[in-house]
Amino acid sequence: MKVVKLLLYLVLSGVAGCSGLQSALDVHGMPATHLKHLMTAFFWICAIVWLLVIVTLIYALVRSHTADASTQLDGPRTRIAVSGAVAATSVIITGLTIASFYTTRSIDTRMGDAITIAVKGEQWWWRVRYPNPDWVLEFETANEIHIPVGRDVRLQLESANVIHSFWVPSLAGKQDLVPGRSNTLLIRAERPGVYRGQCAEFCGLQHSHMGILVVAEDEASFSRWLASQRVVRSRTMDDEAAAGERVFLAKPCAACHTVRGTFATGISGPDLTHVGSRRTIGAGLLETTRGSLAAWIADPQTLKPGNNMPMVPLTSDELRQVSRYMDVLR
Amino acid sequence: MTVGSPERDTRDSRLTDSELQRQLAVTWGSAGGLWNALSNVDHKVIGRRYIVTAFVFLALGGVLSLAMRLQLSQPEARFIGPDRYNQIFTMHGTNMMFLFAVPVMEAMAVYLVPLMVGTRNIAFPRLNAFSYWMFLAGGILLWVAFAIDTGPDVGWFAYVPLAGPQYGTGKRADIWAQMITFTEISALAVSLELVVTILKQRAPGMALNRIPLFVWSILVTSFLVILAMPAIMIASTSLILDRLVGTHFFNPAEGGDVLLWQHLFWFFGHPEVYIIFLPAVGMVSTIIATFTQRPVFGYLAMVMALITTGVLAFGLWVHHMFVAGLPRLGASFFTASSMAIALPAGLQIFCWLATIWWGRPIFRTPFLFVLGFIFTFVIGGMTGVMVASVPFDTQVHDTYFVVAHFHYVLVGGALFPLLGAIYYWFPKFTGRMMSERLGKWVFGLIVLGFNLTFFPMHILGLQGMPRRIYTYQPEMPWGGLNMFISLSALILTTGFLLFFIDVIRSARHGKSAGANPWRASTLEWATPSPPPCYNFQRIPVVGDSTPVWTDCEVLTVASGLRVDRRELLITGVVDASPEARESSPDHSVWPFWTAIATALVLIWSIFTPWAVVWGAVPVATALTGWFWPKGKPEDES
Amino acid sequence: MMSPDTRKSWSSLVFWSLTIAAGVAVAAAVSARMSKTGQRLHRDMLVRGPEMKLEQTAISGPEAKTRHWLGLLTAMVSCLGVAAVLGYTGEPLRLRQDPAVISELEHIRLMPNGVSGAPPNVYFALNQPYENASYNLAQGKRLYSWFGCATCHGDGQGGKGPSFLDGWWLYGPEMVSIVASIRDGRPHGMPPFRNKIPIEQIWQLAGYVQSIGAYQAKVAAPGRNDARQTRPAENRAPAVILFEPVPTRVHPDQGPSP
């Protein structure tokens, strides 16, 4: 009995705790809201059917069997009952099928013109590009997507390596990123907020640490953010950060990472031009602070074993300077 | 065979019972010793080996799941690193699907079907022996590879490109693909034997409408294997070719397609679920009939439901790919078909309920497991309806919701009936009863432990926890439930430990069972427990679908089979009318050598394609030995 | 007015309903033809066909005895036990090398002419992972494209830089020579990558470069890339079958200074 109570407690607390970072039940976006309605309907219908079956089973087991020991098993009553149950089943599943068709349709309808954002799955982070016909205005970032509230956003999903799956449950269902194909996913946030997502298709060693944040903000802040991301080099740098930049450019860092406006133009790692402004590092692994930046640079293989960032030997001074530099790249 | 030959009459007609038993034991039996053990082709011996081996793999797979639960019990735990964890979850899935679930169901059929249809051995008994050795070799290959840190790490579904040449480094994915080949060969061989046994070796009078439901389920399952396995064979072979020889089946840059793998894999992978589930359905029907002492309601409906499930099973595979970006029409078509499969499943549940309703339930352990099955499997079926819906699936696909769903279907839907079946047929296998008291504890612990372990996973999935992650971050709200799940897994483990203890103890010290301890209706109970090497002293003749209830004291039998060679009675496909007497092959060690040679080719070919050429020599030699005419009585007809 | 999508959805519903209806019809047809054959028929057919008879007997047979199938169990478990011991003694894949080990990898000793030499002792203590572990070779292959090696060396067949596939190693095929070439550069155009690639990654890259032109096929090899194929993959066969009879296209300016 104790165990059952404990279970009940945990289940209830679990459901209550559903409003969280990344939950299909805590919805703030257009497709996810429709999906939640559908899921609720499915849940109740299925729960009732299950209960009916179990109640019938229990009654069949406990009812007195002495009276009808000789009753004909396949009498007309039994046949009618079983056929009726099958007919009811088919009505229910037809209804559920139609409900899913209409939900699919309503998800696909869009309002107005959509912003396009290109998302590329890497091992194990997300390359995000805001395409613009004017290439000067185009920029790349990583692991964090900013979108304006209330507008349709078309995510163009591609992968250059293995299959990944883009899933931000509070906003929409998931969609795979398949090499050799281009998939799209339509999302629309209804409320400002930060919604976490995670790669949902097994993609190798660090599949567990491939998070993404979607930051939904009002039109004004979104434009501000766009403008700030397009800025190449207006940051104020103290001596320590300037020294860090020199270390960054002299060491292997620059071979893989880009900091626009410097000679660092590597493209195999995430673009670091505004890394200090992003909320997390290591694809949702750690909150961005100077300390976490230093920890990550010092020993990436302990924090995220198997990821493609090597451990670059730095002296403690160099580490301090580089982490300072990363921190001011806002 | 000349009619009324003047020489010694070797037929069984005029022999006394004891004389007949002696002579049959000489013809069908096998002496002890390692050599004779390797050459044995008795379906009961092989079936028993299959079952024991499969349960060993179950235990090993269970240990892996405990390792995973340990790692997941806390956020960012460091018990197991990502590389080892990926191997562990791949091994768990591969082992449970290919080395436990499918083989154990076929093993039960290998043991039981010849007895249930009233014949003396399975069709193609040497192929049967061969299939066991192949299965064993495949299992050992996989586990030895895992032990030396070369275990596959690409998931049991081995999606390309992760399992392809560029990202699947080393020999790990090759081991996976080649292990599939081993189990494919053995599963195909067994299915062929079972189809022929069921269609041509039934006891006279066992027309299609008198076949026990378990045998029907095995017949449908065997056809599913025969139709589904070639798809995975093509898939795994193309994968091996891509990896080792440099073909481009799955390389988009050279005109290959990544999704082709998923189509091929799931064209096999979905029927695979029914390959595991349908035999369990047969077991449930058998157990319900015995423990309500009534035939199952709606025999025809049950059979049609089995066949419908088998047909629909091939129209569902795309529901594993709903988020891969397929055209909408395809998706809605597969939503409808995936929902439709709830109809035959529901029909069977309703028929069972009707049987229990009118019957007088006897609450022994096998029946308890059937009740646990209905309780659990219906939940799995309901979540199955949920994931069949495209929009619903986009939220729960590849999350712990799906993990919960398929464990409810596979453990609740197949393992519970299997455990019930072990309790039910154990007296037939060994001649001894399993403990009823322990059995109730086993049932309670397993059903409770299972539900406590897997039900919370539904919630975790909705809370956004993806599958196949080796850890999660402390800020995610998953820690409490995961710890709870890991603790519940200990209850489940205790249940399984008790089960194994019960099996080992009962095999030695169990109460003696007698021929028909449950008062069951099917033919395997019309012979002593355990059955003698020749199964039936004389072949039973069947007049209805519950022959042992009808002839509970005296059995109607056909006499006239020869005793100096292994003679079987061949009957017609539809009415099981007697057609001919035919001999069944004798013991032979060649299947063992052939399996060794084949295993050599398959393992060697992981390292060089030349193995296929040079390895063909020992295989050809072994096959020549296998089929060389020996001039024995078995060659006469 | 239905949208095409809805129409398609409805038509798939209709399709499956019809399929199921057909199944029900088949069931009805089969049930009408079900066998009612009694035992009498079989008596006759037994005599006519396989020349047998019908009889009545009691269920009897030899006594039950315990089977010793536990032997099989023991054999299997001990077999897997041996494997487990093997695995326990084996070295698992290392995703993170100790920093001290990494810095030790810098200490290669080259011959005075820069060709061949001895790797640091720690390399042998690790069991030569950059040649023997396919994980490292595959990492090397990734780095080969990430660091733009292909701009000069192409897919291994050379270009501006020398080919790795002609069986002709300008500084010898040893790992240390290749590591030195990448780290310190070579005359006539090979730049030093000392400050671009950390030393462990240089070793991985060297292992891969060595495997491109290996004379012998090895079990540990990188697979081919999912890209357009310009030559057979490294894991197919020793590159020796690709070697051209004479050193190819060596520009006069390539190779060691005289």
Q: How confident is the model at residue B499 (pLDDT cuts 50, 70, 90)?
A: very high
pLDDT band at B376 (very low <50, low <70, confident <90, very high): very high
Contact status, residue A137 vs residue A100, Cβ threshold 8 Å: no
Distance CA A85, CA A69 (A): 24
Q: Which whole number is the average pLDDT over C98-121?
A: 88
**A178 and A207 together in one domain:** yes
- Which residues on neighbouring strands pair with residue B432, listed in sequence order? B512
| Residue B157 CB neighbour total at 10 angstroms | 19
Tokens of B304: 């049609």
Same domain (yes/no): A207, A256: no
Residue in C99, C142, C196 closest to A311 by CB: C99
pLDDT at A14: 44
CB spacing of A310 vs C200 below 8 angstroms: yes
Contact assignment for A101 to C6 by CB distance below 8 Å: yes
Residues A220 and A294 in one domain: no
Chain C residues with CB-CB distance to A308 below 8 A: 142
β-strand pairing of A153-159 with A115-122: parallel
CA distance A57 to chain B (A): 6
Distances in whole angstroms, Cα of residue B17 to Cα of each of A110, B113, C57, C59, C203:
83, 25, 9, 11, 79
Nearest CA in chain A to C193: A252
Which of C15, C96, C106 has the highest number of chain A CBs within 10 A, making it the mutation to test binding with A? C96
Distance between start and end Cα atoms, chain B: 8
Q: Is the pLDDT of residue C247 over 90?
A: no
Q: Is residue A7 one of the residues assigned to a domain?
A: no
Would you state the torsion angle of the CA atoms of residues A13, A14, A19, A23, taken in this order, to the nearest 10 degrees?
180
Among residues B621, B588, B624, B622, the alpha carbon closest in space to that of B37 is found at B588
- Does the residue A129 lie in any domain? yes
My answer on whether omega of the bond before C192 falls inside 30° of 0, hence cis, is no
Average pLDDT of B563-592?
89
| Domain contains A119 | yes
Last residue of a domain, one of A196, A229, A262: A229
Taking the C-alpha atoms of residue A194 and residue A199, their distance in angstroms, rounded to an integer, is 17
Does A85 fall in a domain?
Answer: yes
Closest residue in A to B349 (Cα) is A53
What confidence score (pLDDT) does residue C127 get?
85
Whole-angstrom distance, CA of residue B248 vs CA of residue B33: 50
Residues of A within 8 A of C197 (CB-CB) are: 252, 255
Q: Which of B120, B9, B135, B119 is nearest to B586 (CA)?
A: B120
Please give the residue range of the domain that contains residue A95. Answer: 21-65+75-229
CB distance A30 to A187 below 8 Å? yes
Which two three-digit tokens encode residue B94? 């591969």
Residue A157 in any domain: the answer is: yes
Q: Residue A215: name the closest of A282, A153, A285, A132 by CA.
A: A153
Mutate to test the interface with C, among A247, A268, A319 (most CBs of C within 10 A): A268
* C58 strand-pairing partners: B554
* Residues in CB range of A12: below 8 A, 6 or more apart: none
pLDDT digits (tens, 9 = 90+) for A11-51: 444 444 444 578 888 898 888 998 999 999 999 999 999 99
**What is the rounded distance in angstroms from the CA atom of residue A274 to the CA atom of residue A260?**
9
Q: What is the pLDDT of residues C35-72, one digit of tens each?
A: 555 555 566 777 776 777 777 776 655 555 555 566 66
Token representation of residue B146: 């895992």
Residue A259: Cβ-neighbour burial (10 angstroms; 0-12, 13-18, 19+): buried
d(CA C136, CA C128): 11
Q: Which residues pair with residue A29 across a beta bridge?
A: A189
Alpha helices in B201-322 (DSSP H): 213-244, 258-292, 299-312
For residue B4, the model assigns a pLDDT of: 45
- Residue A13 within a domain: no
What is the Cα–Cα distance from B613 to B608, expressed in whole angstroms? 10
Query: Are A244 and A184 contained in the same domain?
Result: no
Residue A5 lies inside a defined structural domain of this protein: no
Among B12, B16, B169, B341, the strongest candidate for a mutation testing the C interface, having the largest count of C CBs within 10 A, is B169
Flag whether residue B335 sits within 8 Å of chain A, measured between CB atoms.
yes
Residues A205 and A286 grouped into a single domain: no
Domain shared by A44 and A177, yes or no = yes
pLDDT value for A66: 58
Chain C residues inside the 8 Å CB shell of A268: 146
Radius of gyration of chain C, Cα coordinates, nearest whole angstrom: 35
Q: Within this chain, do residues A160 and A105 fall inside the same structural domain, yes or no?
A: yes
| B331-354 residue pLDDT tens | 888 888 899 999 999 999 999 999
Listed residues A206, A229, A252: the one ending a domain: A229
Structural domains in chain B, CATH included, are 44-585 (1.20.210.10)
Structure tokens at B626: 């296998």
Which residue positions in chain A have pLDDT lower than 70?
1-20, 64-74, 109-112, 233-235
The CA-based dihedral angle spanning residues A317, A322, A324, A327, taken in that order and rounded to the nearest 10 degrees: -160
* pLDDT of B530 above 80: yes
Find, among B40, B129, B16, the residue nearest to B587 by Cα.
Answer: B40
Q: Please check whether residue B569 is in contact with residue B539, taking contact to mean a CB–CB distance below 8 angstroms.
A: yes
The CATH number linked to A313 is 2.60.40.420
The C-alpha angle C22, C10, A49, rounded to 5 degrees, equals 75
pLDDT of B1 higher than 90: no
- For A146, the token pair is 């900013």
Note the pLDDT tens digit of each residue in B143-196.
999 988 889 999 999 999 999 999 998 899 999 999 999 999 999 999 999 999
- Model pTM? 0.92
Assess if residue A209 is contained within a domain: yes
pLDDT at res. B8:
58
Nearest to B148 among C73, C90, C133 (CB): C90
Is the domain of A40 the same as that of A176? yes
Are A179 and A279 contained in the same domain?
A: no
Q: Are residues A224 and A152 in the same domain?
A: yes
Cα–Cα distance between B52 and B59 in angstroms, integer?
A: 11
Among residues C79, A202, A32, the alpha carbon closest in space to that of B152 is found at A202
Residue C218's alpha-carbon distances to B167, B177, B265, C175, in angstroms, are 18, 20, 30, 15
Q: Which pLDDT tens digit goes with each residue over B540-575?
A: 988 888 888 876 677 888 888 888 888 899 998 888
Total of domains in chain A: 2
Contacts of B250 in chain C (CB under 8 A): 226
Q: What's the CA gap between B75 and B476, in Å, rounded?
A: 8
pLDDT (average), residues B278-302 = 93
Q: Which two tokens stand for residue A69?
A: 């020991």
ipTM, two decimals, is: 0.92
If residue B173 lies in a helix (H) or strand (E), which one and from where to where?
Answer: helix B172-200
User: What mean pLDDT value characterizes chain B?
Assistant: 91
Q: For A195, list phi and psi in degrees, rounded to 5.
A: -115, 130
Mind listing the pLDDT tens digit for each residue in A149-192?
A: 989 999 999 998 999 999 999 999 999 999 988 999 999 999 99
Pairing of strands A144-148, A211-217: parallel
State how far the Cα of A141 lies from the Cα of A229, in Å rounded to an integer.
8
Q: Does B559 touch chain C (CB under 8 A)?
A: yes
Q: Check A251 against C195: CB less than 8 A apart.
A: yes
Q: Which of C99, C196, C226 sits opposite A255 (nearest CB)?
A: C196
Show which of A229, A250, A267 is a domain's final residue.
Answer: A229
Burial (CB count <10 Å: 0-12, 13-18, 19+), residue B227: middle
- In a shared domain, residues A180 and A127: yes
Residue C3 to residue A252, Cβ atoms within 8 A: no
Spatial separation of the C-alpha atoms in residues B282 and B111, rounded to whole Å: 14
Alpha helices in B313-398 (DSSP H): 328-340, 342-358, 365-388, 390-396
Which residue, among C197, C61, C221, has the nearest Cα to C131 in the 3D structure? C221
| Interface B-C: count of C-beta contacts within 8 A | 259
Q: Helices B213-244 and B299-312 meet at what angle, rounded to 10?
A: 10
**Helical segments of A109-201, H only:** none
Decide if B314 touches A, using CB distance below 8 A.
no
Q: What is the pLDDT of residue A17?
A: 40
Question: Residues B260, B190: contact at Cβ < 8 Å?
Answer: no
**Pair A202, A269 in one domain:** no
Hey, are the CB atoms on C146 and A98 less than 8 Å from each other?
no
pLDDT of residue A234: 56
